[in-house]
Structure 1
Amino acid sequence: MGRPCFGPEEPAAWPSGEATIDQLAAEERCETLLQDTFDAIRPMPVWQSAPPRSGVRMPRPGEGGGLHWYVTRGRDVLTVVSQARRPALAGAVESHWRRRGWTITSLGVGRELPTVAAATRDGYQLSLHFGELGEVGLTASSPGADRPEHPSRAQAADGCGRAPLPYVCCPHWSAMV
């Protein structure tokens, strides 16, 4: 169906005064960040690409300027991550992002629904989040991007549909202890 209702639908904030980037370059950078994160997880879970999103964000009060376009790319984890292993997955992602020198912007350490979010030096935002039914999503969102030349390329967030439920068992991530 659509995207789950966990995690931000749009990037929370961008560094003020940053130049915009081409949307295609932003899409490619998001995909690179996602793959880099998955490459650091051992064993790598099975995943599929989530529906891409792009849209516009209003400036904050007092921020000035016009609308900010952004793109978001995501991956849905199809591997069942047991409740006992969720903190380990979030911890592996957090450690990787810290090694990259990225700023951890949010950390939810709950055993059932841990979350971690980070910002890269170039203004991209990443988020790993768990849903109530065991869904796991990883998203990467761009800082402000140029308005698309071809409006058909822009895709708005389509609301709060469900991500696919995980169904692939793994001796490590699906283990109950």
Structure 2
Amino acid sequence: MRAVRTALAAVLAMAVTGCGFVGMSDDGGSEKGKVRKVSLQVAAEEADGIMLATMTSVKPELNWVHYAPTDEGCDSYTIDGKATGSATRRVAVMTIVSQERRGSLLGVIERHWKGAGYKITGVNRSKAFPAIYASTPEDFRLVAKVGKKGQFFFGITTPCFILSKVEDPKTTPNGTPFEGSVVPDPYVRSDFWSATTSIPSTSPTR
């Protein structure tokens, strides 16, 4: 799965790329700030925790799976003379979310992220492909976006930390992992999220 490089994965990587972010500095990303000297594996595990909290915040629950985790170096930026890297975790939702319920789901995500103390950094109000972007106080970058056939995708990219081997996520999805390089279309029906009746708007706002 780590080698998967689908076009959609590339889009998500561009949307939440963390390459060049300083590892949890206290001055907005300058190397002069205080930096957490932890490995990229530790940072990836923290990203997994943030992702799991995001997915489990949605009620009724979504059927979701991990896909295409990646990591890469952060150019010339170093911590104590050590090379650094950034990791990206991704989730694909297999629940069918109707057009009438997509804004509501984004609203749930927005409220969870705000409640966790994250900053909403951008909103794409496209009717077909809406998205919401956020960052944590430690500069982990998050995105929730809608792709083809209304499928939801989530991504989180870490700042730069000390480069290390990064294992695949150990958090357990509630969907069935898929094989191959192509993310399956959503196929799991939900009495709530798949319903075609509208509910009060909770569209994301800045």
Q: TM-score, normalised by structure 1?
A: 0.81
Is 1:39 the counterpart of 2:56? The answer is: yes
Q: TM-score, normalised by structure 2?
A: 0.71
Q: CA deviation at 1:74?
A: 1.4
What does the per-residue CA deviation read over 1:55-102, in whole Å, with 9 as the maximum and x for residues that have no partner?
12447xxxxx45741011111100011111111111110111111111
Is 1:22 the counterpart of 2:15? The answer is: no
Aligned-pair identity (%): 23
> Which residue type is aligned with residue 120 of structure 2?
I
Match of 2:73 among 56, 71, 74: 56
Look up the SS of the partner of 1:31 in the other structure. helix
Q: Which moved more, 1:45-54 or 1:6-15?
A: 6-15
Q: CA deviation at 1:7?
A: 2.5
Is 1:11 the counterpart of 2:25? The answer is: no
Match of 2:183 among 159, 163, 170: 163
Equivalent pair of 1:84/1:111 in contact (CA under 8 Å): no
Equivalent pair of 2:90/2:155 in contact (CA under 8 Å): yes
Q: Which residue of 2 aligns with 1:76?
A: 92
Distance 1:77 1:165 in 2: 9
Q: CA deviation at 1:136?
A: 1.4
- Map 1:118-133; keep pairs closer than 5 Å: 118-133=134-149
Q: CA deviation at 1:163?
A: 2.4
RMSD over aligned Cα atoms: 2.3
Consecutive unaligned residues of structure 2, counting only runs of 5 or more, are 22-28, 169-180, 198-206
Task: Give the total of aligned pairs.
Answer: 164
Post-superposition, which runs of at least 4 consecutive aligned residues in structure 1 deviate over 6 A?
none
Q: Which residue of 2 aligns with 1:172?
A: 192
Is 1:139 the counterpart of 2:155? The answer is: yes
Equivalent pair of 1:69/1:147 in contact (CA under 8 Å): yes
Equivalent pair of 2:146/2:153 in contact (CA under 8 Å): yes
Equivalent pair of 2:19/2:72 in contact (CA under 8 Å): no
Consecutive unaligned residues of structure 1, counting only runs of 5 or more, are 60-64, 156-160
Distance 2:70 2:40 in 1: 11
